[in-house]
Amino acid sequence: MALDKKLIVGNWKMNLDTHEASLYLHKLAGLVKVRRDVEVVLAPTILSLQSLSLQVERRQFKLAVQNLYWRDSGPFTGEVSATQLRGVVDYAIIGHSERRHIFHETDKDVRNKVQAALRNGIKPILCIGETASERTYGETKDVIHDQLIGGLANTTSEELSDITIAYEPVWAIGTGKNASPTDVTDAVLAIRSQVKHLYGATAAKAMRVLYGGSVTADSAGGYLSLDSVDGLLVGGASLDAYMFSEIIKKAHKGSDS
Ligand code: PEP
């Protein structure tokens, strides 16, 4: 494990309108205690970020944007920049598989977004992971290698401490299929070994690596008990405040949860 603090991220994707998001936050706040060993991050749609940022108790929850554009300003109709998000969010999910596969984001786009987030004081959560066919052909480690190199090129070792990697096998996202603990351990070790190669052992050890892919309140504890895993990126199960609070409780080591 890289750090003592677990990170639990709820990615709401394109769900919950602003009113529903506010009600959800109110409900979750009543279910989750502030814990020193757990950091909880909520990623609503961009529309709800501003209002949630006024409502949220930042000791309890941080906010993340699900995507951003890498230029700071200019003629980019429909986009939102890291400069505009500065002060509203602490984190940015970058390179989610839905962005890569539906919106054809390339490693170059991902890398530019990582840099944009960092230069605006926003911590990137860089998502990487193989598709079902890449897995079938035994290419998981190659994909991890390529997406890490692609996403982290231009990142310095000082900046690396602000980056979290989320290992999200594409075949496990929103499918109800879980990666086995062995799959996750192998992938996370491959990530750390690649980071060690690029930035050295200390950086590799200190880097936060999450697992994401159809995590539920039932499966969360198993992943969180893996030594190499520092937290979870949760999609579907984060849409239910009670279920998400149960996942968050699993990340707390104390007996009073
Ligand atoms: C995700 O959105 O990154 C994700 C892992 O979704 P789900 O938990 O629904 O598979």
* Structure confidence at residue 125 (pLDDT): 98
Residue 64 CB–ligand 1 contact under 6 Å: no
Does 205 have pLDDT greater than 90?
no
Does 1 have pLDDT greater than 80?
no
* Structure confidence at residue 60 (pLDDT): 96
CA neighbor of 117 nearest in space, from 132, 127, 131, 102: 127
Confidence of residue 180 (pLDDT cuts 50, 70, 90): very high
Summarised one tens digit per residue, pLDDT across range 230-252 is: 999 999 999 999 999 999 999 99
Averaged pLDDT of the chain:
95
**pTM for this prediction:** 0.96
Residue 213 CB–ligand 1 contact under 6 Å: yes
What is the 3 state secondary structure string of 5-41? CEEEEEECCCCCCHHHHHHHHHHHHHHCCCCCCEEEE
* Structure confidence at residue 254 (pLDDT): 59
Q: Do the Cβ atoms of 148 and 111 come closer than 8 Å? A: no
Residue 64: count other Cβ atoms within 10 Å of its Cβ.
Answer: 24
Handedness of CA 89, 207, 110, 12 (dihedral sign): negative
* Structure confidence at residue 4 (pLDDT): 80
Confidence of residue 3 (pLDDT cuts 50, 70, 90): low
* Structure confidence at residue 229 (pLDDT): 96
Does 198 have pLDDT greater than 90?
yes
CA neighbor of 5 nearest in space, from 39, 41, 40, 42: 39
List, in order, residues 6 or more apart from 1 with CB less than 8 Å away.
227, 228, 229, 230
Does 81 have pLDDT greater than 60?
yes
Residue 151 CB–ligand 1 contact under 6 Å: no
Residue 235 CB–ligand 1 contact under 6 Å: yes
Summarised one tens digit per residue, pLDDT across range 14-62 is: 999 999 999 999 999 999 999 999 999 999 999 999 999 999 999 999 9
Q: How far apart are CA 54 and CA 50, in angstroms?
A: 7
* Structure confidence at residue 206 (pLDDT): 87
Average pLDDT over residues 151-178: 95
Does 2 have pLDDT greater than 60?
no
Question: What is the secondary structure of 229-254 as a DSSP string?
Answer: --EEEESGGGGSHHHHHHHHHHH--S
Average pLDDT over residues 77-100: 98
Does 175 have pLDDT greater than 60?
yes
* Structure confidence at residue 245 (pLDDT): 98
* Structure confidence at residue 257 (pLDDT): 46
More confident residue, 90 or 256: 90
Which two tokens mark 111? 């890398």
CA neighbor of 46 nearest in space, from 27, 63, 28: 63
Q: How far is the CA of 205 from the centre of ligand 1 (A)?
A: 25
Summarised one tens digit per residue, pLDDT across range 113-159 is: 999 999 999 999 999 999 999 999 999 999 999 999 999 998 999 89
Percent of the chain, pLDDT > 70?
97
Phi, then psi, of 147 in degrees rounded to 5: -70, -30
* Structure confidence at residue 154 (pLDDT): 87
168: annotated active-site residue:
yes
Per-position b or e across 95-124, b if 16+ CB within 10 A of its CB? bbbbbbeeeebebebbbbbbbbbbebebbb
CA distances from 26 to 11, 21, 29, 49, 57 (A): 17, 9, 5, 14, 10
If one residue of 41, 45, 214 were mutated to test the ligand 1 pocket, choosing by the most ligand atoms within 8 A of its CB, it would be 214
Q: Do the Cβ atoms of 225 and 1 come closer than 8 Å? A: no
